[in-house]
Structures are given as C-alpha cells and as structure tokens.
Amino acid sequence: MDEQAVAQMIQEVHMKSSSSLIYNNEISLSSVIALAYYSACRDYTFVRELPTGNGFADMVFLPKRTSSNPALVLELKWDKTAEGAISQIKNKGYVSALKEYKGNILLVGINYEKKSRKHQCRIEKVEL
C-alpha cells in the first residue's frame, strides 16, 4: 500500500491521457482512475457513483468471486486533502453499501491540486 507510488502513477496517467482543455475536471480524473484500474477488470467489477444511503461513493471496485483481492472504495477530491476524502468515506458510511461483502476493504482517498497538478493518495484498510 505505497500511497506515494499510487499518487505518482495516477499523476503520470492523468498528464499523459488528458487534454489540457479538460484536465481540471472530475470526469477527467475519474476516467484516469478507471483507466489505471482497467488492467484489473478480470478481478473486479467497477461501479461509479454507488448509492450508499448517505450519498454516493465516487468509485467502488468489487472483487469477483474468483479473486482474493480486497474491495476498493475510492473518493476523489479537488484542492482539499486525501485525508478528507477518507473522512468522507467513513463519515457518510460508504462502506455500509458493501454489507454483503466479507473481507478486506481498502478506503482510497485521492486529492488533486489544480494549480500544482499534484496528486495525493491515502489508503486505509478495514475489514467487514
């Protein structure tokens, strides 16, 4: 769970795959995340804007039955903090939407600073 490596990878993919005209918008960043995790599609089912009862989780990756990987709950932020994204996941109870899932869950908060174009990542492990 190397947070810096994840942030660096996301930043590189974002720079290479997004036009400067649309670089600073949520759709661009969420597309980058989807692209970055595309290689994991054989192990995960990808859900955008999963309803949780207290809002919508930006992205959720649910492991397929044949996978031993953890579930991922991602929250994206702009000009805030990756820690704030993790807090939102917890405070809004996004994990409760996975009540049928048993196993490890990684909470992933990703923040993007528009001016510097720097990305930060926080990852926390929880178990249901």
Q: Where do the domains of the chain lie?
A: 3-127
Q: Helices 26-36 and 3-17, interaxial angle, to 10°? A: 110
Nearest partner of 3 among 124, 98, 86, 88, judged by Cα: 124
> Which tens digits make up the pLDDT trace of 74-83?
999 989 999 9
Q: Report the pLDDT averaged over residues 54-73.
A: 92
Through-space distance between the first and last CA atoms of the chain, rounded to whole angstroms: 19
Q: Please report the pLDDT score of residue 5 as a whole number.
A: 84
Angle ∠(72,74,79) on CA atoms, nearest 5: 155
* Full-model pTM: 0.83
d(CA 3, CA 9): 10
Q: What is the pLDDT of residue 75?
A: 95
Tell me what percent of the residues of the chain surpass a pLDDT of 70: 85
Instruction: Pick the more confident residue, 41 or 91.
Output: 91
Determine the pLDDT at residue 22.
57
Beta-carbon neighbour count of residue 117 at 10 Å? 12
Predicted confidence at residue 18, as pLDDT, reads: 67
CATH topology (fold) of 3-127? Trna Endonuclease; Chain: A, domain 1 (3.40.1350)
